[in-house]
Amino acid sequence: MIILNEETRCIVQGITGKQGSFHTEQMLNYETSIVAGTSPGKGGQKFGPVNVYNSIAEAKEEQEINASIIFIPAPFAKDAAYEAISQLDLVVIITEHIPVHDSMQIVEYAKRNNTTVIGPNTPGIISPGVGKLGIMPTHLFDKGNIGIVSRSGTLTYEVAYQITNAGMGQSTCLGIGGDPVVGLNYADVLQMFEEDDETGAMVMIGEIGGNAEERAAEFIDKNISKPVIAYIAGVTAPPGKRMGHAGAIIEGESGTAESKINALKQAGVNVASTPSGIVDIIKKIL
């Protein structure tokens, strides 16, 4: 497994909001180590077994915390991210629709502080058998040795479910986020899987728009020895049309499904033509 492990102790920023409270309950049910929450002005309250604090600094006076998951609305997410990045090792930003210039500042600030940021606009991360910091439905996942990294939440769920159904499981599944600017990128995560003893092969799920997959292909070619299986969504999308994700816009030749698939194949990656084809490829190569 990578990033999320038995030592991860997490605080939920925005724990009393609708999304925060719902997903905190789900994470606790999955036995994730959620040790505190923040909600300014509501310090001293409790959410189930979890103490609520006004700030991370206040929580750290009483709890050992090294990670955060953010369910703060977009206009306030940058402040919440800065608060977490300045004090913690791992920050997972679930929030959608964060302005691009805010995301750029968040990612730059994280680099300066040597903090790992997943997202924004991510379903989060799950290590089956250990816990999840995110919003993914846990029944789709099972412990195993396939690492999954994806830009799409729903496709992650679909592929994970098919891998689980085939009697294989996952080491860690991570959504890097669908926005143009995100913290961890494909190469970062693929390198972690490469170095992880519990990951035997990795699945990379991409989509049209941007050049993240082409950059990943270059990285795989030079740095990755374990098997990589890829799937690119959006083969039938018309050029120039804006898709659901902010990052999924095609400009000229770059960012098309075809250019991504060709780059990955040239790097020796096994590219599936459908999500269900991923399992067939895994069975052949493992």
Distance CA 252, CA 199 (A): 36
Tell me what the pLDDT averaged over the chain comes to: 94
- Number of CB atoms found within 10 A of residue 234's CB: 21
128-151 pLDDT, tens per residue?
999 999 999 999 999 999 999 999
What pLDDT was estimated at residue 229? 98
Max Cα distance, the chain (Å)? 57
Q: At what angle do helices 277-285 and 153-165 cross, to 10 degrees?
A: 50
pLDDT for res 153: 83
Residue 245 annotated in active site: yes
**If DSSP codes are grouped into helix, strand and coil, which group holds residue 233?**
strand
Confidence class for position 243, pLDDT limits 50, 70, 90: low
Domain ranges of the chain: 10-118, 136-285
User: Where does 126-276 have alpha helices with state H?
Assistant: 153-165, 186-195, 212-223, 257-266
Question: What CATH architecture applies to the domain 136-285?
Answer: 3-Layer(aba) Sandwich (3.40)
- Region 220-243: mean pLDDT is 84
Write the CA distances from 43 to 36, 60, 269, integer angstroms. Answer: 11, 13, 50
Write the DSSP string, 10-45: EEEETTTSHHHHHHHHHHHHTT--EEEEE-TT-TT-
Give the pLDDT score at 68: 98
* Given 97, 101, 139, 245, the catalytic residue: 245
Q: Tell me the helix, strand and coil percentages in the chain, rounded to 5.
A: 35, 25, 40
Six token digits for residue 72: 């703060």
**Does the pLDDT value for residue 21 go beyond 80?**
yes
10-118 and 136-285 have identical folds:
yes
Q: How many CB atoms lie within 10 A of CB 103?
A: 26
**pLDDT classification of 256: cutoffs 50, 70, 90:** confident
| Residues 151-194 pLDDT 10s | 988 899 999 999 999 999 999 999 999 899 999 999 999 999 99
93-114 residue pLDDT tens: 999 999 999 999 999 999 999 9
- Residue, of 15 and 255, whose pLDDT is higher: 15
CATH topology of domain 10-118: Rossmann fold (3.40.50)
What's the pLDDT at 204?
98
Q: Which pTM value belongs to this model?
A: 0.94
